[in-house]
Structure 1
Amino acid sequence: MPFSIQTAVLTFSLLSVCAPALADQVQDARLEGSLQTALALNRMLNPFRIEVVVKEQRARLSGEVENEVERQLAEHVAQATRGIEQVDNQLRVNPGLVERPLELRAYAQRLEDATLASVIRARLLWSRTTEKASIEVQSSEGVVTLRGKVDSAEAKELAGVVARTTEGVHLVNNLVSLDTAAMAKARENPVGAPTGPQPSDSWVVDKIQNSYRFSRNLDGLNIKVASTEGMVRLSGEVVSSEQKTIAVEIARQIIGVRGVDADLLKVATKVEG
């Protein structure tokens, strides 16, 4: 029995010592992942193989970049990562990397175009006006081309607006055409009429928030969204009355939205300096 008590005490002591160390390792791993993600999402840095090691909130960067500007940028990204207290920048500058980054940047651009097209397709699916429209979306270096047929001029126009207002889009070629037969059929069932079960309020809020996040016209982080049985309430702050109008219109066209109350969405007042 005494042996068992001693063993238990020893085990407890070891756990007491190891628990903080384990928590630190988990925290370091999370910071490592956050920093690697930030570097991968940076357009200038994602072509380079930058290794990251984080220990006790200190990040060590190693690998090679093409020039000193990119070396300093990587350090700034690390310093801006929440939780990183110090940065040991061991990145080497190698001008001979020019060819490889060009190849990888082309690959990164293809991925970015694919992502951009997917974002636009998703936004079209969330809209009551274009959810059933057969619209093909293609992106090449930020130039988006829309093709297909829709049943109303409103759907064609909205498709173009959705594409143009998506962050990362430089130009839109709206080649969507009007299907006269479908237009005649659509007149029998107006766009505003419910066509299916009411989506959950959490779904509605999520799609509005994502639409704000993907829009180049809004700072979605400053807009709070709530929904009760499809009645949406917007609150927070925007920088102009134009932004408020855009926020209301984006919310209004989401599937399941029955009304939008934006009385609590305030326009920031300018302070004269």
Structure 2
Amino acid sequence: MNMQRMTIVTAVAAALALMPPAMAGKKSMEQELSEARIEGQIVATYALNRHLNPFEFDVEVDGNTVMLSGEVEESIDKDLAEQVALGVEGVKSVKNNIKVNEDYKPKTKKASKERDFGDAISDATTTASVKSMLLWNGNTDGMDINVDTMNGVVTLSGTVNNSAEKELAERLAENTDGVRDVENKLKVKAANATMGDKVAETADEAGEAVSDAWITTKVKSSLMYTRNVDGTDINVDTKNGVVTLAGTVESSAERDLAEEIAEGIRGVKDVKTEQLKIDRRETASR
């Protein structure tokens, strides 16, 4: 998408968002305007997203439900497209009919300058990324945490079980790509469980229902979203809940962070990093 079209899409979405309900007259017209606003915001957000190509998706809105279709090369893109749609105000549910085809050839991505522009203003993408990190992590209850982003500053609000969970949520947000700062307004519930109890409860709830494929996708996505980890150079494989990370990183700190991120994903029983090597050439050049 070129800069001119991106500007038009953004302007249309903004205009629809600002249109007062009184202009609609009848309820049916209000419904149409609401659906148009939601569709416009989703398309605009895809256009500004640094990971997604808006030409890959078809978006239809029926009330508060969004129907997504199209074709992508990786399941990560399918999941992110759904999370972005869920992050748009007014969307209650998403029917994700996007097909994953490993042989699919993505359409041309946006030029680098447009991608930089999108990085600077895509608060919706940042919100979706942070929300995903919280939802996938086994030690934070993402459904009880609200995420809002303004100019790269993320505000966390809602309730958590304890101070350890509050601190973890803040750290996950801080490490998410695109986040400039975090305002942690989370409130701690009355002391009803220790962090250890929370982890045990989450593990029991996850059980065997969490598939290896799901874990692999979420670990890979989390590494891609994390600012201080180059997820593109890390391969992820999961067998019976045991995650193996392979590839190269620039430092032991990056390796430790990758391991920590993987350990936090729901359903992960153990993480192996023996095959995750430090690139000594990168370290020596610093």
How would you bin the TM-score normalised by the shorter chain?
0.5 to 0.7
TM superposition shift of 1:38:
3.7
TM superposition shift of 1:177:
1.5
Counterpart for residue 233 of structure 1: 244
Q: Which residues of 2 match residues 171-250 of structure 1 at below 5 A?
A: 171-180=181-190, 183-185=191-193, 189-192=197-200, 193-198=203-208, 199-250=210-261
CA contact (8 A) 2:241 2:270 kept: yes
Partner SS state of residue 234, structure 1: strand
Q: Which residues of 2 match residues 94-113 of structure 1 at below 5 A?
A: 109=121, 112-113=122-123
- CA change 1:187–1:209 in 2 (3 A) is closer
Aligned length: 177
Identity %: 33
TM superposition shift of 1:43:
3.6
CA offset digits 1:157-197 (Å, max 9, x no partner): 111011101111111111111101xx415679441342134
For residues 185 and 154 of structure 1, what CA distance do their matches in structure 2 show?
A: 11
Q: Does 1:142 align with 2:152?
A: yes
TM superposition shift of 1:115:
1.4
CA contact (8 A) 1:133 1:150 kept: no
Partner SS state of residue 249, structure 1: helix
* Equivalent residue in structure 2 for 1:170, among 165, 180, 190: 180
For residues 238 and 253 of structure 1, what CA distance do their matches in structure 2 show?
A: 19
Q: Structure 1: 5+ residue runs without aligned partners?
A: 1-29, 47-104
Q: Does 1:257 align with 2:268?
A: yes
Partner SS state of residue 191, structure 1: helix
CA contact (8 A) 2:139 2:198 kept: no
CA contact (8 A) 1:123 1:162 kept: yes
Counterpart for residue 55 of structure 2: none
CA offset digits 1:33-54 (Å, max 9, x no partner): 404x34695244x7xxxxxxxx
CA contact (8 A) 2:162 2:193 kept: no
For residues 260 and 188 of structure 1, what CA distance do their matches in structure 2 show?
A: 19
For residues 142 and 118 of structure 1, what CA distance do their matches in structure 2 show?
A: 12
- CA change 1:268–1:187 in 2 (3 A) is closer
Q: Structure 2: 5+ residue runs without aligned partners?
A: 1-104
- CA change 1:233–1:187 in 2 (3 A) is closer
TM superposition shift of 1:203:
0.6
Counterpart for residue 154 of structure 1: 164
Larger radius of gyration: 1
For residues 242 and 203 of structure 1, what CA distance do their matches in structure 2 show?
A: 26
Partner SS state of residue 155, structure 2: strand
Moved over 3 A (4+): 37-41, 185-190, 270-273
TM-score where L is the length of structure 2:
0.56
Counterpart for residue 108 of structure 2: 34
- CA change 1:139–1:197 in 2 (3 A) is same
CA contact (8 A) 1:129 1:154 kept: no
For residues 159 and 208 of structure 1, what CA distance do their matches in structure 2 show?
A: 17
